[in-house]
């Protein structure tokens, strides 16, 4: 049995090496002789270090990560290979990646290299701690919260998926989702004249949060404001906040009210008995980004909630749901756009009794825990045992139904309204209570991309959308982001999971996806049609360069310009289309 330490090392190397081969150096395919055995490998020549590194390929996927096994290295002038542990090999790849710093930037290369190594070690340590605490999800009985707590590895498209700065080891048992903790919120009494709030529903945000702690002692003219305990602790160190306390405009009330559990994003919290979740800023850097609620995101959440209602989106696409963020509340600090007190109120469709079988794509397609199988494999094997179909047939049927809910409505929404969603693995949830996908849920008010050509029609429905920053984009920019999040990050993760688990043939699944996109290109008539055509008619597809973002210290949630984060990679749908065309030609 693989130990936790071995599994964490292998996962850390796999995440970084896949980003490295995609963004820095693809290497070459070679055959390595290991005694009498021939081993399929990727070989990287690291010229700056005069080293050659080989990593065994245990499983390949056109759509997803390469899975690695043993690793060997040798000096460039030596023919003798020696085995090396994954975490011992990683610094060599990091050093080579930092060769991007040349000329004037070379002086800072060492600092970036050491910073990256720190985050790699944080990710390794976080993965090892998660694996020590993790238990496999039970295929027929897991709940929404079980799945939110089940992301031991993070996603494969990031070089340091479990790096987390700003949360101490003694805090993570309570505040990190992987450890199953929960906690009461911290509350403040705020003078009403500095409160700002908005709501798209028939209930004020202030009334919603007041219901969480009705016994909290408020004086006349005060409003209750909840806060994540970590954020409350950080805010109390802010001199401007202390000035409000000294002036009597803000009173800390301490912890009280119901207990909440962190979801997979860490900063959104959940209670199965309540009709709303809450999303906070956190003084924690997770992967690339400090997690901050921006004013334009609060405004966008309420505006999109109004749009969903006024345009009739909620009932327009059966089995497709946008989880709305319909209210927000904060306090204003002079001279600041955000105070740090920003709270997003998110509707909770997964209350007790409606939470069984709800899972993010990230948890569904994650690598299996040591000694276990992936959640997707467990579900498909259970379905196969109860049907007359074999596993490949079950996998194909499951994939078709998944596309019914996760692809067709996404493109129809974009076609009808010019609204594209940042539908990556962690923002995408499926209802698998029956085993097969029966509904798709999208969450996250940071992830709406509205097409410029639809600005006028959307503005007529929700006039304030005209003035919200960061909502409208040119169609070309949307296509890159939409392709990466909905296809490369989400749909391709399902394909690669099935391939690595031996559940289906990759060419078969790509053929199903290609035919579905061809059909959408025929039936849609606007932006959705153009997007579907771009996916099947281009030899490349957009992917986010997370390693380069990490190398150059880019916080994608705060950067003013993020288009440069996207790069072109080979598009497996293009090859799938070529195979389809050859097949039709032979048949005719």
Q: Where are the alpha helices (DSSP H) in 34-157?
A: 86-97, 109-133, 144-148
Phi then psi dihedrals of residue 365, to 5 deg: -105, 10
Instruction: Supply the pLDDT for residue 583.
Output: 44
Instruction: Supply the pLDDT for residue 584.
Output: 43
Instruction: Supply the pLDDT for residue 579.
Output: 53
Helix (H, G, I), strand (E, B) or coil at 176: coil
Beta strand spans in 300-388 (E): 320-322, 327-331, 343-347, 358-360
Fold of 358-587: Transferase(Phosphotransferase); domain 1 (1.10.510)
How far apart (Å, rounded) are the C-alpha atoms in residues 300 and 22? Answer: 33
How far apart (Å, rounded) are the C-alpha atoms in residues 580 and 296? Answer: 45
Q: How far is CA 25 from the centre of its chain?
A: 25
Side-chain-side CA neighbours of residue 46 (13 Å): 23
Local structure of residue 197 (DSSP, 8 states): E
Instruction: Supply the pLDDT for residue 102.
Output: 60
Local structure of residue 212 (DSSP, 8 states): T
Local mean pLDDT, 10-residue blocks, the chain (588 residues): 92 97 95 92 93 97 96 91 96 90 64 89 96 94 97 90 92 96 98 97 96 96 98 97 97 98 97 98 88 93 96 94 97 95 98 98 97 97 88 97 98 97 96 98 91 94 90 94 97 98 97 98 97 97 91 61 80 77 41
Written as six digits, the tokens of 209 are 């949060």
Residue 53 near residue 44 (C-beta atoms within 8 A): yes
Residue 282 near residue 267 (C-beta atoms within 8 A): yes
* pTM summary value: 0.94
Local structure of residue 372 (DSSP, 8 states): S
Place of tokens 């007790």: 352
Q: How many CB atoms lie within 10 A of CB 527?
A: 24
Instruction: Supply the pLDDT for residue 588.
Output: 38
- Helix 527-536 crosses helix 506-523 at what angle (to 10 degrees)? 150
Place of tokens 């009280």: 256
CA–CA distances in Å: residue 113 to residues 93, 118, 233, 249: 10, 9, 32, 46
How far apart (Å, rounded) are the C-alpha atoms in residues 328 and 357? Answer: 29
User: What b/e string do you get for 294-331 counting C-beta neighbours within 10 Å, with b at 16 or more?
Assistant: bbbbbbbbbbbbbbbbebebeeebebbbbbbbbbbbbb
Instruction: Supply the pLDDT for residue 106.
Output: 60
Instruction: Supply the pLDDT for residue 561.
Output: 52
The structural domains of the chain, with segments of one domain joined by +, span 4-133, 167-347, 358-587
CA–CA distances in Å: residue 579 to residues 170, 284, 498, 505, 574: 54, 47, 20, 14, 9
DSSP assignment of 280-337 equals E--S-EETTEE----HHHHHHHHHHHHHHHHTT-TTTSTTEEE----EEEEE--TT-S
């Amino acid at each position: 049995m693989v130990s936790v330490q071995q599994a964490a090392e292998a996962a850390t190397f796999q995440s970084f090496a896949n980003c490295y081969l995609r963004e820095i150096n693809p290497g070459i395919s070679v055959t390595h002789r290991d005694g009498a055995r021939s081993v399929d490998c990727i070989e990287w020549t690291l010229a700056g270090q005069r080293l050659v590194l080989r990593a065994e390929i245990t499983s390949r996927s056109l759509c997803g990560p390469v899975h690695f096994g043993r690793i060997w290295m040798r000096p460039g002038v030596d023919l003798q290979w020696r085995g090396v542990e994954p975490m011992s090999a990683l610094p060599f790849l990091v050093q080579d990646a930092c060769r991007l710093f040349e000329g004037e930037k070379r002086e800072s290369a060492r600092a970036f290299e050491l910073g990256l190594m720190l985050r790699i070690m944080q990710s390794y340590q976080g993965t090892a701690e998660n694996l020590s605490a993790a238990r496999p999800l039970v295929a027929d009985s897991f709940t929404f919260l079980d799945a939110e707590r089940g992301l031991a590895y993070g996603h494969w498209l990031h070089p340091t998926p479990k790096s987390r700065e700003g949360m101490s080891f003694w805090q993570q048992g309570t505040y990190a989702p992987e450890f199953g903790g929960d906690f009461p919120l911290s509350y403040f009494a705020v003078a009403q004249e500095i409160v700002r709030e908005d709501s798209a529903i028939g209930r004020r945000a202030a009334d919603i949060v007041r219901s969480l702690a009705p016994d909290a002692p408020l004086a006349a003219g005060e409003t209750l404001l909840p806060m994540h305990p970590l954020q409350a602790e950080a805010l109390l160190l802010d001199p401007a906040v202390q000035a409000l306390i000294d002036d009597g405009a803000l009173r800390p009330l301490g912890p009280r009210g119901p207990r909440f559990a962190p979801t997979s994003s860490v900063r959104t919290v959940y209670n199965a008995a309540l009709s709303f979740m809450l999303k906070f800023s956190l003084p924690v850097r997770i992967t690339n980004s400090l997690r901050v609620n921006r004013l334009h995101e609060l405004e966008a959440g309420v505006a999109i909630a109004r749009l969903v209602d006024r345009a009739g989106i909620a009932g327009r696409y059966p089995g497709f749901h946008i989880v709305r963020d319909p209210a927000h509340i904060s306090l204003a600090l002079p001279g600041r756009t955000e105070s740090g007190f920003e709270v997003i109120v998110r509707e909770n469709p997964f209350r007790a009794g409606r939470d069984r079988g709800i899972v993010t794509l990230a948890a569904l397609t994650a690598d299996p825990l040591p000694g276990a199988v992936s959640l997707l494999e467990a579900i498909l094997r259970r379905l196969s045992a109860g049907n007359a179909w074999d596993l490949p047939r079950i996998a194909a049927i499951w994939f078709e139904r998944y596309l019914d809910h996760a692809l067709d409505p996404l493109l129809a929404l974009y076609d009808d309204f010019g609204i594209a969603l940042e539908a990556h693995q962690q923002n995408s949830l499926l209802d698998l209570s029956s085993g097969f996908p029966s509904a798709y849920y999208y969450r996250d008010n940071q992830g709406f991309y509205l097409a410029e050509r639809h600005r006028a029609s959307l503005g007529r429905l929700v006039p304030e959308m005209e003035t919200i920053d960061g909502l409208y984009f040119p169609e070309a920019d949307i296509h890159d982001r939409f392709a990466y999040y909905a296809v490369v990050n989400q749909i391709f993760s399902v394909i690669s999971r099935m391939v690595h688990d031996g559940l289906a043939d990759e060419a078969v699944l790509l053929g199903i996806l290609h035919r579905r996109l061809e059909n959408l290109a025929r039936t849609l008539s606007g932006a959705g049609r153009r997007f579907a055509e771009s996916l099947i008619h281009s030899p490349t597809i957009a992917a986010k360069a997370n390693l380069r973002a990490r190398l150059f210290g880019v916080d994608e949630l705060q950067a003013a310009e993020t288009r440069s984060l996207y790069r072109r990679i080979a598009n497996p749908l293009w090859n799938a289309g070529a195979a389809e065309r050859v097949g039709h030609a032979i048949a005719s």
